[in-house]
Each structure stands twice: as C-alpha cells, then as structure tokens.
Amino acid sequence: MAEIWQVSSLIRIKTMNIKSLAENLLRLVGGESNVETVVHCATRLRFSLRDDAKADTAAIEQLDGVITTVTGSGQFQVVIGNRVAEVYRQLGEISSVLDDHTQSREKPAKRSGSRIGQLIDIVSAIFTPLLGAMAAAGVLKGLLNIATSQGWLDKTESTYIILQAASDSLFYFLPIMLAITSARRFQGNVFVAVSIAGALIYPSMIDLFTRQVEVTFFGIPVVMMKYTSTVVPIILSVYVMCHLERLLNKFIHETVRNIITPFLLLVVMVPLTLVTLGPVGIYTSEAAAGVFVAIFSYNPIIASALFAALWQVFVIFGMHWAFTPVIINDITVLGRSTLKASTVPAVFAQAGAVLGVMFKTRNKKMKALAGSTFITALFGITEPAVYGVTLKLKKPFVCAVIAAAVGGGVVGYSNSAAISTGIPSLLTLPIFYGEGFGGLILGIVISFVMAAVLTYIVGFEDPIDESATAPTPSSSLEKNAKPQPVTAMPVDIAEDIMVPVTGRVVALEQVNDKVFSSGVVGDGIAIQPTEGKVYSPVDGVVTATFDSGHALHILSDNGAEILIHIGLDTVQLNGQHYAMHVKENQTVKRGDLLIDFDLAAIEKAGFDTITPVIIANSDRYKTFHKTRQPAANTGDVLLTLS
C-alpha cells in the first residue's frame, strides 16, 4: 500500500511509537531476509539491502517519524532524526538484523552497486559505531586542553591524568575498536580480529619499536612500526583474515573448525601483518595525510572554502563517509585535521538558513518546522533542516552553500583544525580548541549570519498555508509532507455518493489490508468488481492521480474527499492493465469514465481486485449511511453523507 501514503491530506495516522515504526520499516525494506546489515549515524538508519528494489520507498517516506529516504552510495538510508538510536535498538529487539553474523560467514551476500558505493558502505559500517564515543572523547580532550592552557589544571595532577586517560584511551586502542567493527562488516571472527589488533599494540611489541632493535621472524626482517592509534593497518589485516578464514573453513572439518581455524589465523595473520600489511598500512596512512596537508598548504583558503561549500551536498548523498577515515587518519598521524574544521561552517550555515526561513515565511507549519530544525542544526543534526526546509525550498540551500564557502575560507585562512572527530556543533566546539580557534569562531559567525540574511533577502517560494484554506490532495503531494490530523467539522449538506464500479458490496472491515479495514484513512465501503470500468460517483474535481493508474482522488462539489483504490498492492503492476482517462485538476461529472482496467489480467497476476471507496474526511459528517444492498450497480447510491 505504498501509494496510499502519498495522499497526505487523506490520511489520519495515529502517532506511531518506536516499536511500530521499527516494525513498519523492517517490513517495508523487504523484511528481515532482505537486510544484510544496518547501522545508524546521528540521524539515519543505513541499510545494506540484498535487493534494493524490494524497499517500498514511497511508503517509508510517509511513515510517521520518517523525514525522508536517500538511496545511493551502496546504501538505502532512512532519515529519522534525533530518535534514530531508539529505532535502531528496537530493530534489534524485534529481529536479528543487528546480530553479529559470524554464523553465516561461509557465503557472504554479494553487494550491488558501484565500487565507490561499496567502499562508502564499508567505511560507514566500520566507523559509524565509533563516532559517538569518539566525539565524546574528543570533547573531553578539548576541555582538558582549555583547562590546562588557562591554568585551571596541571598536567602532573592525578585528576588530569585520570581524565586524560579517559579521553585518550579510545584513540590509543583504536586498532582494537576497528578490529571489532571491521570483523563484523567483513563477517569474520571478531575475537580473532581483536587478538590480532592486541598483538600489534602488545607492550613487548611497543618496546621493540621503541628500542629500534633488529627484529626478524624465522629470518624474515620485520620493520617495527607504532600501531597504537592507527587506522589502515588493522582494517587491511582483518579484511585479509576474513577471506582466509572462509578459505580455511572449506577444508577444515566442522568438528575441529572452532579450534583449528582460529589457531591458524593467529599463527599466519599476526606475522603477516607485522611483515607486510602493517607497514603498507602505515605508509598508506602517511601518504594520505601528506596529500591533504599538501592541498591545504597550497591554498588553505580555497581548499577549506571548497570543502565547506560541498560538505552538505556530500551529506545528502551519503558521500561524506568517504572522508571519515581521512579525518581520523589525519588526527592519528598528524594530531589534527584541517579538513574537519572546514566542515563546521557548512553546519552553521544550514542553521542560519533555516533561521532566515523562520523569519521570512508566512506559512505557520513551515515557520514551526524551521524553528525546530534550527535548534537541531545548532547541535549538529542538519538532516531535518536540509530535507525539511532548505533543500525543499531550494534557494535557502543555495544561500547556505554560499555562506559556508565564505566561512570556510576564513577557517582555512586561520589554520583551524580538530584534535578529534565528532559532529560539528555547539557541543563539540572544544575539539577545535587550539591554533586558529578564534578564526573558526569567526567563520562560524560569518556563515551563520550570512546564510540567514541571504535567505531572508533572496527569499523563496513560500508554501501555501493550508491552515488558511481547505486542504486538497494536490497541495499535499509534496514528497516529504507528513499527514496531519483533520479536525471534525460537521456539515449539514446531504450528499449521495454513487457506485463507481459494478460488483459485489463488501464491508470495509473485511478488506485484507489494515490501512483500509482499520479506517485509519477514513470510513467507507468496498466493492469486489465484476466489470473493469470506474465511473465518477460525484460531480467534482480530480485532485490526485497516480502514474500506476490504479487509484485516484476526487473532491466533490460539496466537499467530500473520495479515494477510489482498485485492488490491493496493485501499485506493483506499474500501470500494467490500467488506463487512466482523466488527469489532476480535471472537472468531472457524475457518471464520467475515469479508469479502464483489465480485471482478469490483474487477478491472473495474483492481485486482489477488491476496490475500497473511502471518504477521507468522513469525520466531518454527522451521519454516514452505507448501502445495505449486496450488489453494487453504477447509478445506484453507495453512500449517503450528511
């Protein structure tokens, strides 16, 4: 029933709780069997689906609690907002999609999409679980820097030492953290992966590196490296380990596999990592860091301005995940990331743009939405602001991009940098404390104020305030519009709704679809058709049609909102066997032919052809009389409203 959710003015949806939202999401993405992995960031659930075509995008976007969906970069992303973690946890409670898939390592599912999309999917799955703790540790690290620079704490004090350990432990043991997430992503033995990571940062190994002595393994020279706080070496090692594990399991009998396979993995992978994979990873990390140092050194103003301008565009398509390992690598190799600092103006520019919208718009709903998303944007959650306001209105998004570029240039000029990673926001400003911090604050102020002023001056196409006029489906087909409850307004005008299609009368409660049978979209009656023609039941205007041709909405001259829906789930036919004879905003008279459909072909395709006739604003009427006749013939009265 994806298409029914598009007619937002027709739907009366009860407030969904988290469990209901999770259940509906799981069902609409194709069920548990279609979910390969799912992770979440600050605002999104990021699904890796076995078959993207099974996801019912339209229905998902109209779920109460969903802002929008984004498909790309190898992921099906559902933007939820601040409560995404609750929905994620609920998915784990109602299904096994969050389980560690170590039992299914023999034959991992093949992923679809481009190589770049697959790479971004991998990066997202590996780094997303760490970002919350990493941001918290970074804020604590920044606050400690402020405290010591102002003389509030001394680095020799035990208080500082304890807090410094709390802030630095995640970064020090980063290979172990990445071993866990990498093994889960590559579907390998998590504990063996952690053991390999632990070997790299084992005290005796660190001692060998510190003493710079000659190290060999059965005569093979080993170039000792410092692996604490590294990123690439352990990811490479776990990737190879997982492939080797699957290869070994093909030849080792399952009765001894739980012991022999981990034993061989440890014996092979620890030396292999120290001899080859580790040094390759270190050199790769240093080279990547050097590239970005060179870019920002050549012209820091242009580089920072460009990244700031493009950052929210990257976020929209999920491409920003490609920069996450780069930022973390810069921090672990260089101790700071100028790239991370350049993203801050982009966030505050979006906040400024929605503030400009809030002051400019006369639409009450848009004003309220802009006000709420302004607050979330200040705390780094920009998706509601982008999808709900700036991108929807177009010009405010462009204004924010321009302002972000200007603010980014200021940040680049001041050589601002981050000492940790985290969502840029008011709360995470301490991670940028140090050289160029004043320039960062100036860049934030410029991008914020400029975006707000530009948005107010340039303006935008203000949405029609539906609270001032009667809602019609044509004004409610915005992609991201959310259904709103309609207050009952009793009327005294009696109106007859005629039979639109010949057939057998069926009580609405007997329709095998809860969307209809529960009355959530309005009261009405259903007809089991015996003829493939639909006629207009009233004089009125066609206010919504669908490309699939299986449904339409009519607003009668007396104000009844009528939905005629031919069959259940027939949107999946993509217009086959349907011929629409009218278009939106067309005036029709009672008895005009609206739709032709091939009844036999639809039934042969396996679809139920029962046709609900719904009065979406049925709560306006004091009396709602349904025909008691078993047969429905065109020209007969089906419903009487008053």
Q: Is it the case that residue 378 has pLDDT exceeding 50?
A: yes
Residue at a domain's end among 458, 483, 504: 458
Token couple for 10:
């027709």
> Are 192 and 265 within 8 A, CB to CB?
yes
Looking at the fold, whether 364 and 500 belong to one and the same domain comes out as: no
DSSP state of 111: P
Looking at the fold, whether 223 and 283 belong to one and the same domain comes out as: yes
Residue-wise pLDDT tens digits, 263-302: 999 999 999 999 999 899 888 888 877 787 788 888 899 9
How many whole angstroms separate alpha carbon 263 and alpha carbon 183? Answer: 17
Looking at the fold, whether 374 and 270 belong to one and the same domain comes out as: no
Is 41 catalytic? The answer is: yes
* Residue 132 within a domain: no
Q: Which amino acid is present at 364? A: K
Q: Residue 242's Cα: distance from chain center in Å?
A: 28
* Residue 141 within a domain: no
Residue at a domain's end among 293, 314, 337: 293
Looking at the fold, whether 315 and 283 belong to one and the same domain comes out as: no
Least confident interval from 163-177, 369-383, 483-497:
483-497
The residues near 35 (Cβ < 8 Å, ≥ 6 apart) are 26, 29, 47, 48, 49, 50, 95, 97
Only one residue has tokens 């709903």, namely 365
* Residue 109 within a domain: no
Residue at a domain's end among 238, 264, 293: 293
Looking at the fold, whether 163 and 286 belong to one and the same domain comes out as: yes
What CATH number is associated with residue 584? 2.70.70.10
Q: Looking at residue 277, what is its pLDDT?
A: 92
* Residue 199 within a domain: yes
Q: Which of 2, 26, 41, 70 is catalytic?
A: 41
Q: Which amino acid is present at 8? A: S
Higher pLDDT, 139 or 353: 353
Looking at the fold, whether 199 and 313 belong to one and the same domain comes out as: no
Q: Which domain covers residue 378, as residue numbers? A: 299-458
Looking at the fold, whether 202 and 171 belong to one and the same domain comes out as: yes
Closest by Cα among 620, 486, 475, 386 to 6: 475
Angle between helices 174-186 and 232-251 (to 10 degrees): 40
Looking at the fold, whether 548 and 600 belong to one and the same domain comes out as: yes
pLDDT interval class at 321 (50, 70, 90): low
Q: Is it the case that residue 80 has pLDDT exceeding 60?
A: yes
Looking at the fold, whether 313 and 268 belong to one and the same domain comes out as: no
Q: Looking at residue 267, what is its pLDDT?
A: 95
Domain count, the chain: 4
Q: DSSP per residue over 79-110, as a string? A: E--TTHHHHHHHHHHHSSTTS--GGG-SSPPP
Q: Looking at residue 81, what is its pLDDT?
A: 67
Residue-wise pLDDT tens digits, 190-217: 999 999 999 999 999 988 888 888 888 9
How many whole angstroms separate alpha carbon 197 and alpha carbon 122? Answer: 19
Q: Which amino acid is present at 630? A: P
* Mean pLDDT over each residue of the chain, to the nearest integer: 82
Looking at the fold, whether 161 and 289 belong to one and the same domain comes out as: yes
Q: DSSP per residue over 339-381, as a string? A: HHHHTHHHHHHHHHHHHHHHHH---HHHHHHHHHHHHHHHTT-
Q: Looking at residue 102, what is its pLDDT?
A: 41
Looking at the fold, whether 419 and 444 belong to one and the same domain comes out as: yes
pLDDT interval class at 5 (50, 70, 90): very low
Looking at the fold, whether 282 and 333 belong to one and the same domain comes out as: no
Closest by Cα among 572, 568, 575 to 612: 568
* Residue 372 within a domain: yes
Residue-wise pLDDT tens digits, 559-612: 888 989 998 878 777 788 888 999 888 989 988 899 999 988 888 888 889 999
* Residue 104 within a domain: no
* Residue 1 within a domain: no
* Residue 135 within a domain: no
Q: Looking at residue 92, what is its pLDDT?
A: 85
